Structure 1
Amino acid sequence: MFNIELDKNEILRYLGHRGQEIDTNTETMIDNCIEEIKKISRYRYVYKIFDIKVGYHDAVSCIDVVGTSLRLEGNDIYEHLRECRKCAVMAVTLGIEVDNSIRIAQGNDMLKAVVMDSCATEFIEKVCDEVEKKIKAEAEVLGKGTNLRFSPGYGDLPIDIQKNLLDVLDANRKIGLTVTNSSLMIPGKSVTAIIGFTENISFKKKKSKCDICSMRENCMFRKGGTTCERGRVYKA
């Protein structure tokens, strides 16, 4: 298990905080929700590393994940992985207990529900960060670097690959993560992503992912003059 510490400043940003004063009751609620989310979360994760082939299918840019039926189509994922020959496919979930607690709060105290949702978002991002560290360490053993997490629904990578992606990871059996016919993951507080293995072990991010983010036009962070600072999409 990871030693996860939640950043209250990140939670406040998810809540739309712009530096205004926080009353004592709200601050206490945030602290209580942090502890509750940490207590009830049963986070689990799975990832696998694959060789990939870069090319085209029916004149569409795509990445084939070798040894699987998973094909990643779209210009954005192509640009993300075109210089890679391996990638990691990962899935993370906080568990159904978190979904249930947020749902109960929605019926009793909507403010608490919103705060819990923000705490859960920060929690799963921190778990994803820890999984990414493990993947990066495996890449370094191979003499490779890694690029950023790239999730279905980001840019022009279709969200409907979720089922195939989860099947490739055997995520239902291993971490209890499934997907509906409309490509929504259950539990809802879950993330899937692809990380490319780069030839340059000291690879650095060169371009803001805001340019191709699917939430770019409606992003509350950009409207407030900031960014999400994570450079990747979050699907809840």
Structure 2
Amino acid sequence: MMQRQILESSLDNGKLLRSLGARRGQGKVSAGMQRRIDRWRRRLPDLIQPKLVNCMVPLRSAQKGRLYLADGGVFKGPKLARTLRDADTVCCFVATIGADLEAEVQRCMARNRFADAYVLDTLGSLAVESLVERFHLAHEEQMRARGRGVTLRFSPGYCDWPVLEQVSLFDRFGQERPAGIRLTETCLMSPRKSISGVFGIVPHGVDGSVADYNPCRFCTQRNCKARRAPAGN
């Protein structure tokens, strides 16, 4: 079921074309490019192996730009800490679609099939993002049914949360390669089509105060691809 839902989102032609650089409302490409897109979309189910693992860690406090976890861990990031300040639990997760798609992209590159590599790489990015979006949404729906809420999700390397914080995040899982993902010396993830991150679980009665805060509204980096709200709103 999870793979089917991921594929449905990844195969959305409008979303794919925008990810490939088309402007909203300009949903047409050349016939040759559309054939290339259709070919790789048909092959996508054989190239992804979605995996996601998560753990729930009680939050002891959020102060001075840091999240202090009950297991002794610390996440350092002022915007992250402010966003999760009212949470009582932090959901840590790592997700991947595996290494097969990445290997196919490399084969395309080696054969100078750069357009194919570009389309397939974009499909992979959409697939792993869809996996994480659906996981986050499922928790939002579950918590709402219990009178609770969830915060925005953050990933190391975005906003003001340093990518080096990957180490602390991966430490929460107590295993070397959660979901089969390995951290490199520079704190990048392998397989490359992987996403890690956190979001907060908010107690009943305070979810409104958290939902109203979005650091993107106060950020001046207007060209950020990860922006989740217009500046000044």
Q: How far off its partner does 1:229 sit?
A: 7.1
Distance 1:142 1:32, change over 3 A: same
Find the residue that maps to 1:53 and give its secondary structure.
Answer: strand
In structure 1, the partner of 2:19 is 14
Counterpart-to-counterpart distance in 2, 1:93 and 1:178: 11
Counterpart-to-counterpart distance in 2, 1:21 and 1:81: 41
Question: Of 151, 156, 159, which residue of structure 2 is paired with 1:155?
Answer: 159
Matched, 1:176 2:180: yes
Question: Of 165, 168, 171, which residue of structure 1 is paired with 2:169?
Answer: 165
Question: Of 74, 77, 81, which residue of structure 2 is paired with 1:78?
Answer: 81
Question: Of 37, 43, 47, which residue of structure 1 is paired with 2:44?
Answer: 37
- Superimposed CA distance per residue, residues 74-123 of structure 1 (whole angstroms, 9 cap, x where no aligned partner): 21111111111112111100101121111111222011111111111111
Counterpart-to-counterpart distance in 2, 1:88 and 1:103: 33
Q: How far off its partner does 1:204 sit?
A: 4.3
Does the CA-based 8 Å contact 1:54-1:63 persist in structure 2? yes
The alignment yields a C-alpha RMSD, in angstroms, of 2.5
Question: Given residue 81 of structure 2, which amino acid in structure 1 is its aligned partner?
Answer: Y
Matched, 1:107 2:98: no
Q: How far off its partner does 1:41 sit?
A: 0.4
Find the residue that maps to 1:133 and give its secondary structure.
Answer: helix
How many pairs does the alignment contain? 218
1:77-226 → structure 2 map (5 Å cutoff): 77-108=80-111, 109-140=113-144, 142-170=146-174, 172-199=176-203, 200=206, 204=211, 207=214, 209=216, 211-212=218-219, 216=221, 218-219=223-224
Does the CA-based 8 Å contact 1:54-1:78 persist in structure 2? no
- Superimposed CA distance per residue, residues 129-157 of structure 1 (whole angstroms, 9 cap, x where no aligned partner): 22113333553465311122111112111
Counterpart-to-counterpart distance in 2, 1:211 and 1:103: 39
Distance 1:153 1:37, change over 3 A: same
Does the CA-based 8 Å contact 1:152-1:193 persist in structure 2? yes
Question: Given residue 187 of structure 1, which amino acid in structure 2 is its aligned partner?
Answer: P
Q: TM-score, normalised by structure 2?
A: 0.82
Unaligned runs of 5+ in 2: none
Distance 1:217 1:38, change over 3 A: same
Counterpart-to-counterpart distance in 2, 1:217 and 1:62: 26
Counterpart-to-counterpart distance in 2, 1:45 and 1:171: 14
